[in-house]
Amino acid sequence: MASKKNLKKDINYLVDEVIGTCLMRQNLKNDKIQDDLDGVIKDMLEFREEMVKKVNNPKPGEGEKNLKSYYRSLYSELLTKVNGVFDKLNTMTE
C-alpha cells in the first residue's frame, strides 16, 4: 500500500461501485428485492465509515512493519467484503 490516501480512495471507489450497482438494479428489477438492496446500501455506507476510521486511527504502538501489515489486512478486508457483496447481489437478482 503506497499511502493512506490511496487506500481511502480505493475504499470510496469500491463502495461507490457497489452502491451504484445496487441503485441500477433497483431501477431495473421488480419490487421484491427493493428492501434487500436498500439494506445492502446501508451496510456498505456503514462499512465505508468503519474502514475510513480504521485507516485514520491505526492501533497505537505499532512499528513500521506491523503498520504495513495492518494496512495490508485492511485492504484484504475491503476486497473480501466487496467481493462478498457482489456475490450476494448476483444471487439476489437472478
- The predicted pLDDT at position 81 comes to 96
| Longest CA pairwise span in the chain (Å) | 51
Q: If pLDDT is split at 50, 70 and 90, which confidence band does 8 have? A: very high
Residue spans of the domains in the chain: they are: 4-92
Crossing angle of the two packed helices 64-92 and 4-28, in degrees rounded to 10: 10
How many CB atoms are located within 10 Å of the residue 46 CB? Answer: 10
Evaluate whether 37 touches 26 at the Cβ level (below 8 Å). Answer: yes
Q: If pLDDT is split at 50, 70 and 90, which confidence band does 61 have? A: low
Cell readout for 14 is 469500491
The average pLDDT across 27-42 equals 84
The average pLDDT across 22-41 equals 85
Q: If pLDDT is split at 50, 70 and 90, which confidence band does 35 have? A: confident
Q: If pLDDT is split at 50, 70 and 90, which confidence band does 18 have? A: very high
d(CA 22, CA 77): 21
